[in-house]
Structures are given as structure tokens and as C-alpha cells.
Amino acid sequence: MALKKPSLVILAAGMASRYGGNKQTESFGPSGETIMEYSIYDAIKAGFGKVIFIIREEFAEAFKGVIEPKLKGRIETEYVYQSLEKYSGGRAIPAERVKPFGTSHALLCCKEILDAPFAVINADDFYGFDAFEKAADFLNTAVSNGVYACLGYELKNTLSDNGSVTRGEIHVNAAGEMTGITERREIYKREGKAFTKTPEGDVELPLDTKVSMNFFCFTPDFVNWSALEYEKFLDKNLNELKAEFLIPEVSDELIKSGNGVVKMIPTQAIWFGVTFKEDAPVVKAALQELTDKGLYPQNLWI
């Protein structure tokens, strides 16, 4: 029996606190496209069959109003709402908690509807067609056997000129399987080099360091396993108001506990995104340049 076409899960429920606005639905493309529309366009071209949006229910109507008219008849769509109460096991969520519980919790909110191998990405990142093509190649042969994948970007292709960023540094063995992910916080550029802040001081990172940009390839059994990890996370961190249940850290635990294998799929694609307001004109210029080169049409949906 033929496998189902892979699904694309888009994480669009974040608060965007550093950006200061709802960047998920902001226009960046030449004809008013959002960044995630380029990901969806590339995913359709690569052979994905469905897109699942994880959003907050309070802006569902506005979100659907932007997206649905463009995608109708092009790809199947489905929506999942991330809320603090989902999968809390009846635990009382602290009243002061506002921030969502993170990307792996968002993915857990899809547990009931995932029925095919899938890729998961951020809504506000541009990943490039090469990454989607390689992800589709992997997912089209993926089965529920505990073997997953992560797209590995070169650090130099993922930095912002407008502030520090967080990246997951990927470690691999000789077989190209990840041995772990180290979350590197506050990575910044200085004099053509990259540095990360650590308790011991600033440490230089090679520019070709492979990093995760939250582009993972899973089968539904990964989410089933992560549900058990979420219980442990809540037991330990429920009252930590800024604690997050993140896909890179959950993947790292999966690897180190021997519960699965995550292959690293290298890509030379250029990543760009909007972490800061100052990134917006840079992203708009980059999308216009890709359009001028003929890599994307002037209007994605005409």
C-alpha cells in the first residue's frame, strides 16, 4: 500500500515577543505574501499533501482569512489550537503563565490528527526549496520505526545582523546520525565571525557549524513518545513561568535515551527570518531578489 503524502506542520502560535507584532500574518513578499506562504509553495512543489497550522484560537479567524483564499484547491489544510491546558493532565496552570509551553508542546497538540509522516517548521522562517525537497525524499520512505531527521543548516547562513539568536548546534557520528543537540543561546556576529555567550564567557563558533532551524521530519510515533516526556516536563517545570518544552531538547533526550535515531540532512539553503523588527526590510529585499531571479513568481498563487 502506498504511503500517504507527507504533511507539513507549521508552528504559528508563538508570541513573537522580540518582534513586537503578529509576524505570522505580516506581508513580506512582492504581492503581500507572508513568509510561511513560501514554505507552503515549496512544500506543494516538493509533493506534500496537507498543511497543518498550529495557532492560538484567539486569532484563528484573522489567520484563516489571510491563508484560506490563497490555498483553496491547492493543498488540504487543517488547524490545531495550542493552549496551556492541552495535555496538562488536569494540573493547575499558574495564573501568571502567559507564554505557550513551547514548540514540542505545540506539536503534541496535533497528536489526534497526525496520520502520515510529517515535517515541522516555524511560520516566520524562510527555509528554501532544497530543504523541502530533501525532507520530502526522506518522508516518502519514512515508517514508524524510530528513525527521524533534522535539516542541518550552516550557521553562517542563519545569523541576523540585528541581534543575537538561539540555534541548536547539531552533533553527528560517522554515519550522519545525530548524537545530540546543544542549544546555543545569544549567538551574535562580530567582525565576520560568530560567537555565543556562555557562563564562562564568549566562545567562537565555526561558521560552518551545522545548526537546527526547527525543521524536523518525524512520524506520528515521535509525538506519542513525547507525550510521556511532557508529563515529566510538567512535573519539573510547571511553576517555571518561562520554561519551554522544545523540539530540539526533546529530540536530544530521544537520542540520548536510546529511544530513536535522528539523521542529519545537510542543506546549503540560505535561511532567513524575522526575529527582530529590523529584520523585516532585509527579508522583504531577499524575497524580492529571489523573485527577480525567477525562483518564485511575482505572485505565488496566480
300 falls within a domain: no
- Write down the H helix ranges in 129-181: 129-139
* Residue 60 is assigned to a structural domain of this protein: yes
138-149 burial, b for 16+ CB within 10 Å, e for fewer? bbbebeeeebbb
Domain count, the chain: 1
- Average pLDDT of the segment spanning 224-250: 94
* Per-residue model confidence as pLDDT tens digits over 25-75: 789 999 999 999 999 999 999 999 999 999 989 889 989 998 999 999 999
Residue 31 belongs to some domain of the structure: yes
Whether residue 15 is predicted with pLDDT greater than 70 in this model: the reply is no
Residue 104, in any domain of the structure: yes
In the numeric block, which cell numbers belong to residue 285?
Answer: 529585499
Chain centroid to CA 226: how far? 16
What's the CATH number where 132 sits? 3.90.550.10
Q: What domain range includes position 22? A: 7-292
